[in-house]
Structure 1
Amino acid sequence: MTGRKAAPETTVPAAPLPPGTRRPGGRTARTRAAVRDAVLAGLVEHGYPGLSVEYVAEHSGIHKTTLYRRWGNLEGLVVDALDLAGEDSWTPPDTGTLAGDLRALAHTTADAFADPATAAAPTAFIAAAFQAPRAAEALSAFYTERFARCEAIVARAVARDEIDRYTDAGALVRAVTSPLFFRLFITREPIDGTVADQAADAALAAARAGVFRTPPTPAGPA
């Protein structure tokens, strides 16, 4: 991300594009990426209260009129930046064991916030979610989708007979990452590999004890 201006955009779509609109490649993708980078830079530099459409226009090289036409307002810009972040090809770890997968997942979370430069963007997004309702909805959708991808970890463990097949996959994955986010954003304590392993091991022990077991829904009358 840099403050260098891209060439100004001289064309606009025939109709406004709603936040999150996805089109393959080309100029639209480059424009969206430039706007995303500018939003991230602004959030990191000024936080949500200090971010403005004018800042995004200046740092993306996209005219302010185009930004309003396509994204509506500042919240729309932040929402679409989060939507774009969720369009990656990330897949959960596959180490061959449930314990290994959960530890690897915990380390992925810890590593993402270990380097201040790397942590700046996700931290800024989380902060923005406390100040903008639509950003909060987008952040919730982002993590809901991320956790849904992680359900494959539990599905593989069930297939290997490592865990009860009625284990709530979403609850288990959240139990791994929740202590890490608590330390990062509530108590402001550092996290490292040891803390990540503890979170994963505690969640695994709880799962094996049946804490996350969801009884099957009784069949209704025939």
Structure 2
Amino acid sequence: MNAGEVEPGTVRPGGRTARVRESVLRAAGDALVEQGFDRLDLADVARRAEVGKTTVYRRWSTTAGLVADLLSDMAEQSVPRTDTGSLDEDLKANARLVVRTLTDARQGPLFAAVIAAATCDARTAEALHRFYQVRVAEWAGCVDAAVERGELPAGTDAHEVIRAVSAPLYYRLLASGDPLDESVADRAAETAAVAARAGVYVN
């Protein structure tokens, strides 16, 4: 994509078109959960959302553009980071939020479907990467604050610490199939905190 171009589906609507966007994105999420990316169809999404096919085709153009907008919406709706004044508690809150999301009856399968789609579609992969960049950047602030408080060594890579918290949780979702619960979340947070204090993530 050239400079100045915009991925279809990434322009934010205003006014009454926001209701159409909400309905279409909800329908797209339902279709992804039920059928997967390879069977995602704009006409089917329009039928589910009860909007005209031309509206969907004109606004989103492609299934990749629709998924990109879905991921942008998910980032917009995500819970802001916690600020407890303690690295351990902040990382624990982050890990528990990830577990709640991944074990949610709708959000868990939706994330799995989007991640699967990203393995075979470059634009979906780019949208997924943008989603996680937004979320990691949001939570990196708690690590930066811990450095300022003297809890962590100077030069700690905040983004790497946050990635270290969620990585084992996504591994359980996508690879091992092992249970995901608060105890697993807390262990992931504690492990990342211990490694960060030991200077593992210092650049």
**TM-score, length basis structure 1:** 0.83
Q: Cα offset for 1:187?
A: 1.2
Is the CA contact 1:17–1:70 (under 8 Å) kept in the aligned structure 2?
no
- Code of the residue aligned with 1:21 in structure 2: it is V
Among all aligned residue pairs of Structure 1 and Structure 2, give the percentage whose two residues are the same amino acid.
Answer: 42
- Which residue, 50, 53, 67 being the options, matches 2:39? 50
Is the CA contact 1:38–1:60 (under 8 Å) kept in the aligned structure 2?
yes
Aligned counterparts of 1:160 and 1:39: Cα–Cα separation in 2: 44
Report the CA distance shift for 1:40/1:146 in structure 2 as closer, same or farther (over 3 A): same
Count residues with an aligned counterpart.
198
Instruction: Give 5+ residue unaligned stretches, structure 2.
Output: 1-5
Residue 37 of structure 1 is matched in structure 2 by 26
- Which residue, 84, 96, 107 being the options, matches 1:107? 96
RMSD over aligned CA atoms reads: 1.8
Q: Cα offset for 1:89?
A: 5.9
- For residues 8-64 of structure 1, the C-alpha deviation after alignment (integer angstroms, 9 at most, x for no partner) is xxxxxxxx994210133x211111111101100100111112221111110112222
Report the CA distance shift for 1:125/1:17 in structure 2 as closer, same or farther (over 3 A): closer
Query: What pairs with 1:64-143 in structure 2 (closer than 5 Å)?
Result: 64-88=53-77, 90-143=79-132
Partner SS for 1:104: helix
Partner SS for 1:96: coil
Instruction: Give 5+ residue unaligned stretches, structure 1.
Output: 1-15, 215-222
Report the CA distance shift for 1:53/1:89 in structure 2 as closer, same or farther (over 3 A): closer
Is the CA contact 1:20–1:84 (under 8 Å) kept in the aligned structure 2?
no
Residue 9 of structure 2 is matched in structure 1 by 19
Aligned counterparts of 2:91 and 2:141: Cα–Cα separation in 1: 11
Richer in helix (by share) = 2
Q: Cα offset for 1:115?
A: 3.3
Q: Bigger radius of gyration, 1 or 2? A: 1
